[in-house]
Structure 1
Amino acid sequence: MKFTKMQGCGNDYVYVNGAEVNFSPEKKSEIAKKLSDRHFGVGGDGVIFINPSQEADFEMEMYNADGSRGEMCGNGMRCVAVYVYCKGLTDKKEFNVVSAGKLKKIRLDVDESSPERKVNSVSVDMGLPILEAADVPVLSDKKTVVNEPIEVAGKVYHHTCVSMGNPHAVIYVADTDNFPLESLGPLFENHPSFPKRVNTEFIQIIDRKNVKMRVWERGTGETLACGTGACATAVAGVLNGCTDNEITVHLLGGKLKIRWDGPGHPVYMTGPAEFVFEGEVAV
């Protein structure tokens, strides 16, 4: 099977042209676990199949490193956009990609002088954030979960819950660099408040336009970046009144520009996506 390794702010996945393979979902899950292994496989945060689609220009079919199906990945979405344009699967600079039934609008900033079809950056309309607790989902007697207490490992934190097609809990901390993410990340992910587990963003506010972020992704662990998590962080910042509508999220693997103009408006994400290498592997 031919594959392409790509990364967006260090959030790396193995990409496969789904039109060239014919595997069952069970086989794809098995492939994701095998190829994601950083010692015995290709190495990555998961595997993404780029498929033909009847409802959009392309479909993104995402699997986490543990083989579980993922609904959405912002960094993955940008990489899909660069993949299909640079490989000549489309000549459009604006097109749609669907993932788990959610349609996303893509806009490419292309270097017109480059013969290699170079893409400078990708902007994605990530759609409306989902704030209803039952739809995130998070168990709560409140309609929305904004700055609500949650107890983990005997300590009370305050979390704001947002779905960007996948569930997120945003936690503000004083120092992301020294936060014990390795021990606490799994406890947040598997907390009984989250029936489908949760991606957890740990945020240090630098100023109203800049935040630092570390993330624990369900099914994968700590990653260098999470696009949907950065979007959820921007939404949480506006809801809590601690950041402006447009912010730069500083991730371990790079920076993302996120804008949210408040309830009723979509979230916009802009950032890079790059090829790493290509190869062929027996599956």
Structure 2
Amino acid sequence: MTLEFTKMQGLGNDFVVIDNRGATFDPTPERIRWLADRRFGVGCDQVLLVEAAPDDAVDFGYRIFNADGGEVDQCGNGARCFARWVREHTGFTGNPVRVATRAGQMALTTHPDGRVDVDMGQPRFEPAAIPFGTPERADEYMLEVEGRTFRIGAVGLGNPHAVMRVEALDRVPVATLGSAIQALEAFPEGVNVGFVEADGRDHIRLRVFERGAGETLACGSGACAAVVVGRQQGWLDATVRVDLPGGRLTIHWTGPGEPVTLTGPAETVFEGRIDHDPPV
């Protein structure tokens, strides 16, 4: 059986998008890992499923799977690609597009220049909601990692995030330190680890080591988490340009009780077909 897909990317964070409104594709971990494999499959950071709306409150369902086969709650870069795919393949003309995710409802607003605004919802700071194994909420936490102590902020934005401010981003061992933080028992569901270098109050550079994917060229929810933590700790303004290895996002967050908005591009790379099941 043949599976049709669309390869898309947002700032180099790449996705395989599948139309599953008819529920014909079963996203087993084995199938997801095979599709995401860059040598034997299509290759991507995440697989996105477009599904039928579960109720009248939304227009579509949206599911996200990391390259390791695990399902996650949120992906801001993927959401922008999702919105563009819907407009290019379904004839849907509403603006915003309302989608249901495991993390709740999202609104995706498209602009004529191809940029998409993603309402990422309100950040969660209570440790149990991130989840983060610490007894009390704080704006800053101390982490013991392989005999060293690091300061982080922690926030939930559909995915758990740990954010560390650094002086020289290019000298940070992102892969080794990110992997070590992900392995800590304090993060029972894993964590996306963001490393931030600030260039004033409205501009940061960011690298993110994502759970289930490793370091990616861009992480939308990670960019939001970095700005939220910077706002909470008092060193960033409400609107921030975030430069990632794959390009620039704009994040806006006015403060607690308000949603975070992510703005950036989304592009179609190619359309394709592949056998429905991996070779035995």
State the TM bucket, normalised to the shorter chain.
over 0.9
What CA distance in whole angstroms lies between the structure 2 residues aligned with 1:217 and 1:178? Answer: 18
The within-5 A match list for 1:10-49 is 10-20=12-22, 22-26=24-28, 29-49=29-49
The 1:141–1:101 alpha-carbon spacing in structure 2 relative to 1, beyond 3 Å, is closer
Partner of 1:117: none
Q: TM-score with structure 2 length normalisation?
A: 0.94
Q: Deviations over 1:132-177 (max 9, x none)?
A: 11110101121x2422110112211111111111100101111111
Structure 1 range deviating more: 179-188 or 76-85: 179-188
Q: Does 1:154 pair with 2:156?
A: no
Partner of 1:68: 70
Q: TM-score with structure 1 length normalisation?
A: 0.93
The within-5 A match list for 1:215-254 is 215-254=208-247
Selected match of 1:94 from 74, 93, 96: 96
Structure 1 range deviating more: 16-25 or 43-52: 16-25
The 1:42–1:239 alpha-carbon spacing in structure 2 relative to 1, beyond 3 Å, is same
User: SS at 2:111's partner residue?
Assistant: strand
Q: Does 1:175 pair with 2:168?
A: yes
Question: For the Cα contact (< 8 Å) 1:33–1:46, is it kept in 2?
Answer: no
Question: For the Cα contact (< 8 Å) 1:75–1:227, is it kept in 2?
Answer: yes
What CA distance in whole angstroms lies between the structure 1 residues aligned with 2:81 and 2:215? Answer: 19
Q: How many residues align?
A: 272
- Deviation at 1:20? 4.7
- Could you tell me which runs of 5 or more consecutive residues in structure 1 were left unpaired when the two chains were aligned: 112-119
User: SS at 1:177's partner residue?
Assistant: helix
What CA distance in whole angstroms lies between the structure 1 residues aligned with 2:40 and 2:26? Answer: 23
The 1:199–1:145 alpha-carbon spacing in structure 2 relative to 1, beyond 3 Å, is farther
Partner of 1:54: 54
- Deviation at 1:21? 5.0
Q: Does 1:125 pair with 2:127?
A: no
- Deviation at 1:25? 4.1
Q: Does 1:140 pair with 2:142?
A: no
What CA distance in whole angstroms lies between the structure 2 residues aligned with 1:50 and 1:197? Answer: 25
The 1:242–1:24 alpha-carbon spacing in structure 2 relative to 1, beyond 3 Å, is same
Q: Does 1:269 pair with 2:262?
A: yes
Partner of 1:204: 197
User: SS at 2:117's partner residue?
Assistant: strand
Q: Give, as a single letter, the amino acid of the residue that structure 1 aligns with 2:43.
A: G
Selected match of 2:178 from 185, 197, 200: 185
Which 4+ stretches in 1 moved above 6 angstroms?
Answer: none
- Deviation at 1:24? 3.1
What CA distance in whole angstroms lies between the structure 1 residues aligned with 2:49 and 2:116? Answer: 19
Selected match of 1:107 from 83, 104, 109: 109
Identity %: 40
User: SS at 2:80's partner residue?
Assistant: helix
